Every structure is written in C-alpha cells, then in structure tokens.
C-alpha cells in the first residue's frame, strides 16, 4: 500500500485521530501470560522482571464473576494488574464462524462472558474468528536449536484449537464461500457489539493464524488481511470493537496482508483501535515460517514499538508462542520482557525528544 492510498483509507474511515475513549491509563504496558491460579512465585517473578500487567487464561468452566474477582484479588495483592481474562471457549468457535448447529447458544455464552467481565471490571478481552484453528506443520528449530512452531504451506499441516484437530482437504466437509463467512461475522458482531458497549468491555480481534487466503475449505478473508480488517471494523461500527494486533501473525502473512506492519499499526493505532499487541518475530513470511526470538527474525521489532508509541498506543504488549530455552518456561518470558521493556524505554525517550523539537 502506497502513502497516497493509506491516506485515502485513513480519511475515508472517518475515525482517524479520534480522542481517547478507553478507560485505562495512557502509556505502553508490558505484560506476561499467567494461568488460572497464579502462584506466589508467579507474581514474584513478574515483580522481579519489572512487569506490572498480566493476561490470564482460565478453563471455560471457570468463566464466572466470582472467579474473575478471585484472580484479580490474588494478582493485585502483589501490586500487579490483570489486563484480561480469557479461555478457549470464547474465541475460534466453529459454530459461530461457520453457522453450525449451536451457534446461538455459543453467542449467548459469549454475551454472558462479556457481562461477567464487566461486573469484574475487566475492560479488555481478546476475540479470534478462525473456524478451524491455528495451523502448523512439524516443530522446527531456530537460533541455538530452540524448538519452535513452524508452518510450511507445501506440507499442508493441521489446525488445532481447544483440543480438537482440523485436517484437510476439507476440514468441515465442504467449501465455504467468502460471502458466507462475512454473513456469519456480521450476524455475530451485530449481537455482540451492543453487549460490549453496555458492559464497558473493549474487544480486540486477533488475526487469522496463519493468514492464508483459504485453509481446508474455509476462506480466511476477514481477519487474514488489512482490507478485511478495515471492512470488519467498519461493519461493527462500535467504539468497543478493535484490534488485538499480533505482530507475529502479520509477519507470517507478509505481502498477503496487503499492508505492512508499520502501515497497519499507523492506520488502526491512529483510529485508537489497537488495545493489545502480541509481540513476536518470524524467520520469514509465508509460504514457510518459523517462530523465533524477538531479536532474531526478519523484522525490526524496535520499529514496531516506536510506531506504537508514535500513535499513542496505551494497551499491553505481550510475548507469545515462545521458542523453548534452556532453563525452563520462565526463561523465554523473561528474555522477551527484557527486550520489550528496553524497546519501550527507548521509544518513549526518542518520541518525547522528537516532539520537543
């Protein structure tokens, strides 16, 4: 996308340079992922690495106000903050994406989840709209023989979500059209957006992973490219529907995304529509990629952070899909958090200095 087209899209949106509408404090917030029952050691670890925010994953059976308040109380007892609480039952639901039996029941469950978040003063949640999971091929290695997720289009692979495996050539027995996918999304978002607004919850939508035009008979036409995102956000027509910007997934797509990472961040960021960022680097774009360390991929991750600062992004940046490292699961978390904190400090200083000129 050239500069002129970017400007035209920005002007056409009617939403650029809008005033801040989110209820949280300004500034980029570094975060880490925790499980449903954070231990004292988990919270001590967060304090030791200087990270104040967490995104918590729970079991879907524990989606209730009482549990949300319990988790918040535990985290806050260590002087930390919960950014969001989610589970695999409130995103990537094939019934919703593909209009399968049980769709309305799934939507009602999602509405209740939003109400629970509102009552527990959880102001942000992540949603994803993939009908047959996140796809991968065999694990591969990156720097230092670290094991990492890989995907090679030539090998086909399989999708995985919530313990279910999806395989080609047709994961759901037939070919779906783009119009069907758009109709199903519109049906969902029209029912969900008012509930989000009523309960003061902001929904950031994650891109399709991997963002290929079609997987196993299902088009990835909505959240698999820039134009689809732009149309989907406009269709929602809600101050509470925005973007969970997964840098890694955007880098997977490369040219298929229709806009590079920096252009997309400027577009959605200046609209005030980015509320969470998944911060990871990739070995290369499709057709074959391997997830890697933030300082080891094909993209300049500091440029990402500086752009987020320039558009006054005020949500969380969080690492995900870490390559394995010697020393256990906390090591890649700490390693990534250290890079993110350094990037944030540098970006804050450079942007502040530039604005004084």
**Domain contains 155:** yes
The predicted model gives 312-319 an average pLDDT of 98
Weakest mean pLDDT among 7-16, 60-69, 84-93, 119-128: 7-16
**Domain contains 2:** no
Number of folded domains in the chain?
A: 1
Give the residue with greater pLDDT, 337 vs 357: 337
Tokens, residue 152? 């090679």
**Domain contains 83:** yes
The tens digit of pLDDT for each residue in 154-183 reads 999 999 999 999 999 999 999 999 999 999
pLDDT recorded at residue 21: 78
Residue 2 has pLDDT above 60, yes or no: no
User: What pTM value is reported for the model?
Assistant: 0.93
The predicted model gives 112-132 an average pLDDT of 98
pLDDT recorded at residue 255: 97
Residue 5: pLDDT band with limits 50, 70, 90: very low
The predicted model gives 89-111 an average pLDDT of 97
3-state secondary structure the chain: CCHHHHHHHHHHHCCCCCCCCCCCCCCCEEEEEECCCCCHHHHHHHHHCCCCEEEEECCHHHCCHHHHHHHHHHHHCCCCEEEEEECHHHCCCHHHHHCCCCHHHHHHHHHHHHHHHHHCCCCEEEEECCCCCEEECCCEEEHHHEEECEEEHHHCCEEEECCEEECCCCCCCCCCCHHHHHHHHHHHHHHHHHHHHHCCCEEEEECCCCCCCEECCEECCCCCCHHHHHHHHHHHCCCCEEEEEEHHHHHHHHHHHCCCHHHHHHHHHHCCCEEEEECCEECCCCCEEEEECCCCCCCCHHHHHHHHHHCCCCCEEECCCCCCCCCCCHHHHHHHHHHHHHHHHHHHHHHHHHHHC
The predicted model gives 106-126 an average pLDDT of 98
From residue 4, alpha-carbon distances to 8, 9, 243, 261, 263 in Å are 6, 9, 23, 17, 12
pLDDT recorded at residue 11: 39
**Domain contains 232:** yes
The predicted model gives 106-116 an average pLDDT of 98
Tokens, residue 33? 């992922």
Residue 14 has pLDDT above 90, yes or no: no
The tens digit of pLDDT for each residue in 21-65 reads 788 999 999 999 999 999 999 999 999 999 999 999 999 999 999
**Domain contains 234:** yes
The predicted model gives 312-332 an average pLDDT of 97
Looking at the chain, the whole-number percentage of residues with pLDDT higher than 70 is 94
Tokens, residue 274? 């980015």
| Domain range for 189 | 25-336
**Domain contains 256:** yes
| pLDDT, the chain, mean | 94
**Domain contains 345:** no
Query: Where residue 277 sits, what CATH number does that domain have?
Result: 3.20.20.150
pLDDT recorded at residue 356: 85
CA distance 241 to 275: 10
**Domain contains 157:** yes
The predicted model gives 112-133 an average pLDDT of 98
pLDDT recorded at residue 340: 98
pLDDT recorded at residue 19: 63
Classify the C-alpha dihedral 340-341-345-348 as positive or negative.
positive
Residue 18 has pLDDT above 70, yes or no: no
The tens digit of pLDDT for each residue in 232-250 reads 999 999 999 999 999 999 9
Q: Is 154 exposed, middle or buried (0-12, 13-18, 19+ CB in 10 A)?
A: exposed
The predicted model gives 270-275 an average pLDDT of 97
């Amino acid at each position: 996308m050239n500069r002129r087209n970017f400007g035209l899209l920005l002007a056409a949106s009617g939403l650029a340079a809008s005033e801040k509408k989110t209820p949280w404090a300004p500034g980029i917030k570094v975060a880490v992922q925790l499980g449903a029952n954070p231990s004292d050691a988990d919270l001590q670890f967060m304090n030791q690495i200087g990270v104040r925010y967490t995104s918590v994953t729970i079991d879907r059976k524990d989606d209730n106000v009482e549990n949300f308040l319990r988790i918040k109380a535990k985290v806050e007892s260590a002087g930390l903050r919960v950014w969001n609480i989610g589970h695999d039952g409130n995103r990537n639901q094939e019934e919703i994406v593909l209009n399968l039996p049980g769709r309305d029941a799934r939507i009602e469950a999602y509405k209740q989840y939003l109400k629970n978040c509102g009552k527990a003063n959880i102001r942000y949640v992540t949603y994803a709209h993939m009908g047959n999971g996140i796809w991968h091929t065999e694990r591969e290695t990156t720097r230092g023989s670290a094991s990492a997720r890989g995907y090679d289009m030539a090998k086909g692979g399989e999708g995985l979500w919530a313990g279910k495996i999806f395989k080609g050539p047709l994961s759901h027995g037939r070919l779906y059209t783009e119009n069907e996918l758009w109709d199903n999304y519109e049906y969902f978002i029209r029912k969900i957006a008012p509930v989000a607004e009523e309960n003061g919850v902001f929904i950031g939508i994650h891109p399709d992973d991997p963002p290929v035009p079609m997987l196993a008979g299902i088009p990835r036409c909505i959240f698999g490219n820039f134009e689809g995102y732009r149309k989907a956000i406009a269709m929602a027509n809600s101050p509470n529907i925005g973007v969970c910007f997964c840098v890694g997934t955007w880098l997977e797509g490369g040219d298929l995304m229709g806009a590079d990472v920096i252009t997309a961040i400027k577009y959605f960021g200046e609209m005030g529509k980015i509320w969470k960022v998944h911060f990871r680097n990739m070995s290369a774009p499709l057709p074959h990629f391997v997830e890697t360390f933030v300082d080891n991929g094909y993209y300049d991750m500091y440029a990402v952070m500086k752009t987020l600062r320039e558009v006054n992004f005020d949500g969380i940046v969080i690492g995900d899909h870490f390559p394995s490292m010697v020393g256990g699961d906390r090591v890649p978390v700490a390693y990534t958090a250290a890079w993110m904190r350094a990037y944030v400090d540098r970006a804050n200083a450079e942007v502040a200095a530039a604005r004084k000129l």
